[in-house]
């Protein structure tokens, strides 16, 4: 069950340059310190088999991935540039 949900996310976002799906292990849940200063969105999926529920966590830097980064990403697409142009900065605290 949990592998199915993680696989759905991985398949859906496979061509998205700024989406990273974290490993299934709960110790690798998305953490804001791993995205600060970047345009990345880290997504983690944890499933509780016993209670049949899934929780999805995400972490973004709300300045870069938020309004300003999203504006640059949209402008790049509007002007036919590579989506990643100007947004390739690594997080300040690399994983």
As a whole number of angstroms, the distance between CA 72 and CA 64 comes to 9
- Helix (H) / strand (E) element for 60: namely strand 53-60
| Structure tokens given for 15 | 């061509």
- pLDDT tens, 61-82? 887 877 888 899 999 999 999 9
- Check pLDDT > 80 for residue 53: yes
What's the 3-state SS for 6-74?
HHHHHHHCCCCCCEEECCCCHHHCCCHHHCCCCCCEEEEEEEECCCCEEEEEEEECHHHHHHHHHHHHH
DSSP letter at 68 equals: I
16-47 pLDDT, tens digit per residue, is: 999 999 987 778 899 999 999 899 999 999 88
């Amino acid at each position: 069950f949990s592998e199915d949900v993680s696989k759905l996310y991985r398949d859906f976002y496979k061509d998205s340059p700024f989406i990273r799906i974290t490993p299934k292990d709960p110790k690798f849940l998305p953490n804001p310190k791993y995205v600060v200063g970047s345009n990345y969105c880290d997504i983690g999926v944890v499933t509780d088999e016993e209670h049949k529920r899934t929780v999805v966590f995400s972490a973004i830097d709300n300045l870069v991935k938020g309004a300003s980064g999203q504006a640059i990403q949209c402008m790049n697409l509007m002007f036919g540039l590579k989506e990643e142009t100007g947004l390739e900065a690594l997080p300040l605290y690399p994983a």
